[in-house]
Amino acid sequence: MSLFFRRLRFLLALLFICLVTAYSLSRLGYFEWPRDYDPLALPDLDAAPNFLTPFKLKLVDSAAENCRAAFARAGKVVTIEPAQIASALCSREDTIKLGSLSTATLRVEETRCAIAARLFMWEHNVVQPAARKFFNEPVAEILHFGSYSCRTIRGSSAASEHATANAFDISGFRLRSGKRVTLRQQWQGSQPPAEFLREVRDGACDYFNVVLSPDYNADHHDHLHVDMGWYRTCR
């Protein structure tokens, strides 16, 4: 090994030891480690995402109480609903009734808190900035087809993520002026509404494991499906 790499290795090891020592001292209360860069701190749902956001969202997913606390930090009081087991396939656990995000409202819908937290971050960090960029006004309402639905994936015997409220179908957006932007009517083309819809679809992929748009298949011609199933796809 050349002298250069030996020195580089030494410097990296030193940096690592310094970081671990500093982090340990901050956990002991000697100084405040920035929350955004603390992998053991709940995410601020209204903060810009960074490389630690996926880890912080794992904390939200690990316990409903963590999810409730993350919403409380963002100034929203949410209540975890009692578990409802409908059948072997269909159940609702760790759900909340969601009627508003950081700015936009939505028709009240029960969904898993982990989905709601991601919808909040996506709306705050992706949807509203895109609306200001393309329309110069905010989104007032997220239009949707709901979350919980006791059913299998179309054309398959496997349970849909909707069967556990672990998914959400977004059909469009109502802007403050009243103008509507819907996937059914405005996905095609290169006009600002189409560009806006593609930008919010792409941005959703940073938060959800699965994002399916009209680009995926005809079943999704009129909505954006997002879920936290086990595999990842963004189409």
Which residues of the chain form contacts with Zn ion (CB under 5 A)?
A: 167, 169, 225
State which amino acid sits at residue 11.
Answer: L
CB of 167 to Zn ion, least distance (A): 5
150, 228 in Cβ contact below 8 A? no
- Residue with smaller CB distance to Zn ion, 116 or 167: 167
Long-range contacts of 200-204 (CB under 8 A, 24+ apart): 200/122, 200/126, 200/127, 200/130, 200/224, 202/234, 203/122, 203/125, 203/126, 203/127, 203/130, 204/122, 204/126, 204/234
CB of 198 to Zn ion, least distance (A): 18
CB of 216 to Zn ion, least distance (A): 11
- Residue with smaller CB distance to Zn ion, 141 or 169: 169
Task: Collapse the DSSP code of 75 into the 3-class scheme (helix H, G, I; strand E, B; otherwise coil) and give the result.
Answer: coil
- Residue with smaller CB distance to Zn ion, 134 or 207: 207
CB of 199 to Zn ion, least distance (A): 20
Residue nearest to Zn ion (CB): 225
159 token code pair: 């349970």
- Residue with smaller CB distance to Zn ion, 131 or 211: 211
